[in-house]
Amino acid sequence: MEVRAIAKYVRMSPSKARDLTRAIQGQPVSEALRLTEFNARKAAVLVGKTLRSAVANAENNAGLSAEKLFVKEATIEQGPSLRRYWHGARGMPKPIQRKTSHIRIVLSDGEEA
């Protein structure tokens, strides 16, 4: 059975978080939580929070045990960008983009529904 959790509009660039999601994909939940807990990046905090939410969904809504779960899919998708301006030379505006992302984590216990 598959259980998922999604965190939307997270203020983080998708490219900075994709390497962490590639590392936890296919891992058991305990190992994935360990990887996110001891990583010093901002992405690790946000991905770990979404992973704990998916585990809570599995335990409370589907009645699954956390020891049997593994990360089937972990993806970071690009969300909308906030367009802002910063002053440049001679007071001219320079456009900057503040990127957002959507974190999606799918857990599975290996059994088909």
Listed by start position, the domains of the chain span 2-108
Q: Rounded to an integer, what distance in angstroms lies between the CA atom of residue 103 and that of residue 60? A: 21
Instruction: Compute how many other C-beta atoms are within 10 angstroms of the C-beta atom of residue 70.
Output: 17
pLDDT of the residue at 1 = 87
Instruction: Compute how many other C-beta atoms are within 10 angstroms of the C-beta atom of residue 79.
Output: 17
What is the gyration radius of the CA atoms in the chain, in angstroms? 17
pLDDT of the residue at 112 = 64
Assign a CATH topology to domain 2-108.
Answer: Ribosomal Protein L22; Chain A (3.90.470)
pLDDT of the residue at 111 = 72
Q: C-alpha distances in angstroms, 68 versus 28, 54, 110? A: 8, 13, 8
Phi, psi angles (nearest 5°) of residue 16: -80, -10
In this prediction, what percent of the chain has a pLDDT beyond 70?
A: 98
